Amino acid sequence: MQNSTRKPIVAGNWKMNGNKPLIQLLEDSLATADLAHLEVVICPPFPYLGMFGGLNALGAQNMSQFDGGAHTGEIAASMLKECGCQYVILGHSERRAGHAETNDVVASKVKKALEADLTPILCVGETEEIRDSGNLFAFLAEQIDAVVQEIGVNEFSKLVLAYEPIWAIGTGKTASPAQAQEVHHFLREHLAKKNSDIAEKIRILYGGSVKGSNAKELFSQQDVDGGLIGGASLDPEDFLSICLAAKQ
Ligand code: PEP
């Protein structure tokens, strides 16, 4: 059964990749199809944010938890908003692991993003060790609950969630559709215990080695509302076929 009230999202996370010519190639590719049934969000590195022509929504890959001031090299939520961003990826595993972003730091960034009227794409996901240890659901609940504690569950009506198993990111090892559905269902049920209406409406994206060849099967799962795409978002043709695989 498919849910018609949740508009799918396909978001491309370029990470620290891409260049100016890729912007045009991607826009040319997206312009060839009718993508009105979904939201397409591109999250390029900061310098390219102002270079897109408006065909897709824009997202940043990170932002500061501070409003402004003496934080050399950081970018505030309000600045992203001024530059035309609607979304910001927060809590990506590469930020959590490589930049010491704890659950509390991620939660305070989510709060700042909402204050600036940005939609956070809040990433959660486990390592292979955590999955194998049997602590998967407790671990994911902790990642979610840190944010609930900071902003309250009602604010989740303004969030997008992304389930990104770390073992599947950039590895070519995708979660099976059943594995993705199991976790997405858990996340929705976990929120439903706090607010069933918000749980029903929140979009939960899957991320981890999604490609044109596996997107349709993943996106057809009941609780999967689109994808957060890394590597394949750099390939305009493959990215378009992932967009076309989103539920109608
Ligand atoms: C990501 O980094 O968010 C991601 C899902 O990467 P990939 O699609 O390359 O696994």
Assess contact for 143 and 191: CB atoms under 8 A: no
Residue 5: pLDDT band (50, 70, 90) is confident
CATH of domain 9-245: 3.20.20.70
Structure tokens at 166: 């770390």
What is the average pLDDT across 135-159?
A: 98
Instruction: Report pLDDT digits (tens) over 7-42.
Output: 999 999 999 999 999 999 999 999 999 999 999 999
Element (H, E) at 121: strand 119-124
Assess contact for 148 and 104: CB atoms under 8 A: no
Percent of the chain with pLDDT over 90: 96
Residue 4: pLDDT band (50, 70, 90) is low
Extract the runs of DSSP E, i.e. beta strands, from 34-115: 39-43, 57-60, 87-90
- The rounded Å distance from CA 48 to ligand 1 centre is 19
User: By alpha-carbon position, which residue is closest to atom 4 of ligand 1?
Assistant: 230
To the query of whether residue 71 is one of the catalytic residues in this protein, the response is: no
Residue 1 confidence (pLDDT): 37
Task: Classify burial at 141, counting beta carbons within 10 Å of its beta carbon; exposed 0-12, middle 13-18, buried 19 or more.
Answer: middle
Instruction: Report pLDDT digits (tens) over 74-86.
Output: 999 999 999 999 9
In DSSP terms, 13 is beta-bridged to: 43
To the query of whether residue 155 is one of the catalytic residues in this protein, the response is: no
Residue 41 confidence (pLDDT): 98
Find all residues with CB under 8 Å of 244, minimum gap 6, and list them: 33, 35
- The rounded Å distance from CA 167 to ligand 1 centre is 10
Sorted by where each begins, the domain ranges of the chain are 9-245
Q: Is the pLDDT of residue 73 over 50?
A: yes
Which one is catalytic: 39, 126, 164, 184? 164
Q: Is the pLDDT of residue 190 over 60?
A: yes
Torsion of CA 27, 30, 33, 36, to 10 degrees: -110
Phi, psi dihedrals of residue 21, rounded to the nearest 5°? -60, -30
> What average pLDDT is seen over the chain?
96
Residue 2 confidence (pLDDT): 46
User: By alpha-carbon position, which residue is closest to atom 3 of ligand 1?
Assistant: 230
Q: Is the pLDDT of residue 158 over 50?
A: yes
**Residue 196, CB-side half-sphere exposure with 13 Å CA sphere:** 0
Terminal CA-CA length for the chain: 12
Assess contact for 227 and 10: CB atoms under 8 A: yes
Report the SS3 class of residue 116: coil
What is the average pLDDT across 144-161?
A: 98
Residue 55 confidence (pLDDT): 86
Find all residues with CB under 8 Å of 34, minimum gap 6, and list them: none
Residue 247 confidence (pLDDT): 83
Closest ligand 1 atom number to CA of residue 210: 8
Instruction: Report pLDDT digits (tens) over 103-131.
Output: 999 999 999 999 999 999 999 999 999 99
Residue 186 confidence (pLDDT): 98
Residue 3 confidence (pLDDT): 52
Q: Cα angle at 225 between 19 and 94, to 5 degrees?
A: 45
- The rounded Å distance from CA 97 to ligand 1 centre is 15
